[in-house]
Amino acid sequence: MTVHVAVGVIVDAGHRVLLTRRPEHVHQGGLWEFPGGKVEAGETLATALARELQEELGITPLRVSPLLEISHDYGDKHVLLDVHMVWEFAGEPSALEGQPMAWVAAEALGEYDFPEANDPIVDAVAVLLHGQSARGAVQANE
């Protein structure tokens, strides 16, 4: 069974990205992630993303653009991540579910431990916002 997840890469005016840490008792617990959650039956991606960001952080996405889609098999679970950049939002993000959160510079994303399925997001965001991979590899077009 595939778990469909709407993911938001939330960017502030300084091009920092908001990360939250997964609770220890859940799948991939203790790792950092980009906020989001499961798409419910009959729900659009936009609705799911808005609902999850409101529930987790108390914000409403205002300007969103698609980034990428990731299909990843963990062995015990398969996930489909629909990832969107959230360029503008209403409200001040706060950890409504008690989860640790951090604003992180794009070039520092490689210093955080993420679930394996998030690796392509980390790289894409670092290239988009910083011009190089979070792991330090300079892109060929530079």
Structural domains in the chain, CATH included, are 2-89+98-130 (3.90.79.10)
Would you say 88 is a known binding-site residue?
no
Q: Rounded to two decimals, what is the model's pTM?
A: 0.87
| 141 marked ligand binding residue | no
92 is in an annotated binding site: no
Answer yes or no: is 114 a known binding residue: no
Query: What is the percent of the chain with per-residue pLDDT over 70, rounded to a whole number?
Result: 92
d(CA 140, CA 18): 27
Is 51 one of the annotated binding-site residues?
no
Kindly indicate the confidence band of residue 120, based on its pLDDT and cuts at 50, 70 and 90.
very high
